[in-house]
Amino acid sequence: MDKQLLGIHHVTAIAGEPQENLDFYTGVLGLLLVKLTINFDDPGTYHLYYGDGIGHPGTIMTFFPWPKAPRGRKGTGQVTATSFAVPKGAIPFWVERLQEHQVPHGEPSERFGEPVLSFSDPDGLAIELIATAKLRAERAYTDGPVPSQYAIHGFHSATLTEAGYQRTAALLTETMGLRLVQQEGNRFRYATQPGDAGTIADVICAPEERPGRVAVGTVHHIAWRTAEDQQQDAWQKELARLGHDVTPVIDRKYFHSIYYREPGGILFEIATDPPGFAVDEAPEELGSKLQLPPWLESARTELLAVLPPLRLPTTGYAVQK
């Protein structure tokens, strides 16, 4: 079967306090809370999904908020920066906006000819905004607090920091179908076709860095897009044939997933585009109510007793349970 990866599907990180996380990603960055649900593998924890107006794959940043978990450490074997795409000319607006919200940030710089603004979220997770002409207009949430001409348009790229380089590069190119498109020093840029925003992974070779530790303020895993279940099944079989310790297909309700680790230790996922986030609530009601998978619906009362209440900063309304 002719299978392909379409780019980044989502990035999942670990947060501390869920309300602080919600305030930042919706109130400061202007994303939509696309889905309020729980961690299917740890039901006493929220799973928060942010993205554009309907949750297109390639716009989704997700978090497991664990308030009492220790702080992680950025290093090798990790996704060390998650980069969002913004329109050309938008960086000065974002510098002013971050200053207004008292978010420390670096000086704007340039990478592969595109302006980059770097900062951290409240838990220390490294975030970048990259201004680019190679974005898709429909991948922006235009009803939030950020004017549409400056709004985030989903992912630009993700940075993978590795102690080595060759085996990760071989997996990306020989197995996963990405291609090397640019290089600056020890940063190697790979992309799926056609190399637009949301299709890019930068690999930094940093043997001098210490290994990272996944906990609060770090990325848990990165997911790659595939179009449908048949292609995912083909990926699962191919990865197993090549000796990767890949999981069976797991039903995540909004997409189907397989997981494996790349040679440097980063957890990879391949997730299907369908069925999408409107399977259990209308598009105009996304993120307004706690959604549970069918196998946990009978435990709703018990879960509500454990999960803290949340309030949407953009409206002041409490998220319904």
Phi and psi torsions of 288, nearest 5°: -90, -10
pLDDT, average across residues 208-236 = 97
- Which has the minimum average pLDDT: 113-122, 185-194, 305-314? 305-314
Residue 109, classed as helix, strand or coil, is strand
pLDDT grade for 194, boundaries at 50, 70 and 90: confident
**What distances in angstroms separate CA 94 from CA 85, 99, 158, 236, 285, one per listed residue?**
12, 8, 19, 40, 28
pLDDT, average across residues 127-144 = 93
Report DSSP state, residue 274.
Answer: E
pLDDT score of 314 more than 70: no
pLDDT score of 317 more than 70: no
pLDDT, average across residues 244-262 = 97
Nearest CA-CA partner of 67 in 85, 45, 92: 45
Report the amino acid identity of residue 134.
K
Cα separation of 90 and 22, whole Å? 23
pLDDT score of 305 more than 70: yes
Q: Are 281 and 235 in contact (CB under 8 A)?
A: no
Domain ranges, ordered by start, for the chain: 8-306
Give me the pLDDT at residue 65, please.
Answer: 97
Q: Regarding the domain delimited by 8-306, which CATH topology (the fold level of the hierarchy) does it fall under?
A: 2,3-Dihydroxybiphenyl 1,2-Dioxygenase; domain 1 (3.10.180)
Cα separation of 155 and 181, whole Å? 18
Six token digits for residue 204: 């930094």
Six token digits for residue 302: 């018990």
Give me the pLDDT at residue 312, please.
Answer: 79
What's the pTM? Answer: 0.96
pLDDT score of 46 more than 90: yes
Phi and psi torsions of 147, nearest 5°: -55, 145
pLDDT score of 320 more than 70: no
pLDDT score of 81 more than 80: yes
99-109: pLDDT as tens digits: 999 999 999 99
Tell me what percent of the residues of the chain surpass a pLDDT of 70.
97
pLDDT grade for 22, boundaries at 50, 70 and 90: very high
- Which has the minimum average pLDDT: 13-17, 119-123, 230-234, 309-313? 309-313
Please give the mean pLDDT across all residues of the chain: 95
Residue 247, classed as helix, strand or coil, is coil
Nearest CA-CA partner of 232 in 178, 172, 273: 273
pLDDT score of 315 more than 70: no
Cα separation of 11 and 9, whole Å? 7
276-298: pLDDT as tens digits: 999 999 999 999 889 999 999 99
- Which has the minimum average pLDDT: 160-164, 244-248, 302-306? 302-306
Nearest CA-CA partner of 218 in 317, 320, 126: 126
Cα separation of 254 and 70, whole Å? 29
